[in-house]
């Protein structure tokens, strides 16, 4: 597959369209079954019909939602199902790396649909963008406390991204390093992003704006992961860095900011903090692989992406 193809923006949804909930990574524990039901109800309140992947609650392999090939086949089936207009991930945890060898990028690209998720789903989002050339969406996993108990803004952001051509509203962040930048936004959960290095689906971050977020990773681990990306040459030529929500990552107040300044001191562009997407309470859904602009701490999403 040629690597210079432009990513496709999947078609928008209409009121009453069907969305599917899948589990490409970890299984849904019995204790979390209520979150699945409540998450589905919240999607219905947003105007969507909801279906579950057939084995969503019926199987478990290790800590995964089934064997690798089974999970891959179930995800593929949702891309092929003409009634399903968007695919929403139930939860993260771990497991997306294991299904990628069983996916067909050409098949997925020729059946473009929005796929939404975060945390371990980052690996799948990066695969969709760089191997399938399909715009993915970093947003809440729907069988989660975060989505079920999240505010109206979180739900509205998800619905707007799926149904409206209007770009996301401008978002103002804390500024760790001043500067302006323009480029495509790429990234997700930092600890998942790092695992893509030296794989066939590792992202090309050159001339991009890197977005990262994480949860409960102390500053020295954030240091280690950022340093690994830098040592692997992945940060060479990036235009800027946006840190999302980082709950539990600043175990010594202020140390995380010092670590970021120290490790990323060679980054020429701006560095922002507390963008409202990630593991925290305000996980706004955003497209990856689309052009954005950073100006005076404000992030603006552009519209110049081809729709499928």
Give the active site residues: 119, 213, 279
d(CA 173, CA 262): 20
Task: Tokens for 39, please give them.
Answer: 């998450």
**Displacement of CA 23 from its chain's centroid (Å):** 15
Question: Rounded CA gap, 290 and 308, in Å?
Answer: 14
Question: How many other β-carbons are positioned within 10 Å of the β-carbon of residue 12?
Answer: 16
Give CA–CA dist 216/214, Å, rounded.
Answer: 7
Residue 49 has, within 13 A of its CA and on its CB side, a CA count of 8
What does 142-176 look like in DSSP terms, one character per residue? SSSHHHHH--HHHHHHHHHHHH--SPPPPEE-EEE
CA quadruple 221, 255, 203, 90: dihedral sign: positive
d(CA 70, CA 64): 11
Q: Does residue 187 contact residue 214 with C-beta atoms inside 8 Å?
A: no
SS3 244: coil
* 166-204 as b/e: b if 16+ CB within 10 A: ebbeebebeebbebebbbbbbbbbbbbbbbbeeeebbbe
How far apart are the C-alpha atoms of 244 and 133, rounded to whole Å?
A: 24
């Amino acid at each position: 597959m040629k690597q210079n193809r432009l990513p496709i923006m999947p078609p928008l949804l209409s009121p009453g369209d069907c969305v599917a909930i899948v589990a490409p990574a970890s299984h849904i524990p019995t204790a979390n079954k209520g979150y699945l039901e409540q998450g589905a109800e919240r999607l219905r309140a947003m105007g969507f019909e909801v279906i579950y992947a057939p084995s969503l609650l019926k199987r478990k392999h290790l800590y995964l939602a089934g064997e690798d090939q089974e999970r891959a086949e179930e995800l593929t089936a949702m891309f092929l199902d003409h009634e399903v207009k968007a695919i929403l991930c139930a939860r993260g945890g771990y497991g997306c790396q294991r299904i990628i060898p069983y996916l067909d990028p050409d098949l997925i690209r020729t059946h473009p649909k929005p796929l939404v998720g975060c945390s371990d789903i980052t690996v799948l989002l990066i695969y969709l963008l760089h191997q399938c050339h399909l715009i993915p969406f970093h947003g809440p996993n729907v069988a989660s406390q975060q989505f079920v108990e999240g505010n109206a803004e979180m739900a509205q952001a998800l619905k707007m991204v799926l149904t409206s051509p209007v770009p996301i509203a401008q978002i103002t962040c804390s500024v760790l390093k001043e500067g302006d930048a323009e480029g495509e936004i790429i990234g997700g959960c930092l600890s998942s992003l790092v695992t893509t290095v030296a794989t066939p689906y590792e992202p090309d971050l050159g001339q991009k704006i890197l977005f990262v977020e994480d949860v409960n990773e102390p500053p020295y681990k954030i240091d280690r992961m950022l340093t690994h990306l830098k040592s692997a040459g992945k940060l060479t030529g990036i235009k800027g860095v946006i840190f999302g929500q980082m709950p539990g990552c600043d175990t010594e107040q202020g140390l995380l900011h010092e670590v970021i300044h120290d490790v990323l001191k060679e980054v020429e562009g701006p560095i922002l903090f507390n963008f409202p997407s990630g593991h925290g309470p305000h996980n706004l859904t955003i497209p990856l692989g689309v052009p954005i602009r950073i100006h005076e701490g404000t992030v603006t999403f552009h519209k110049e992406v081809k729709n499928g």
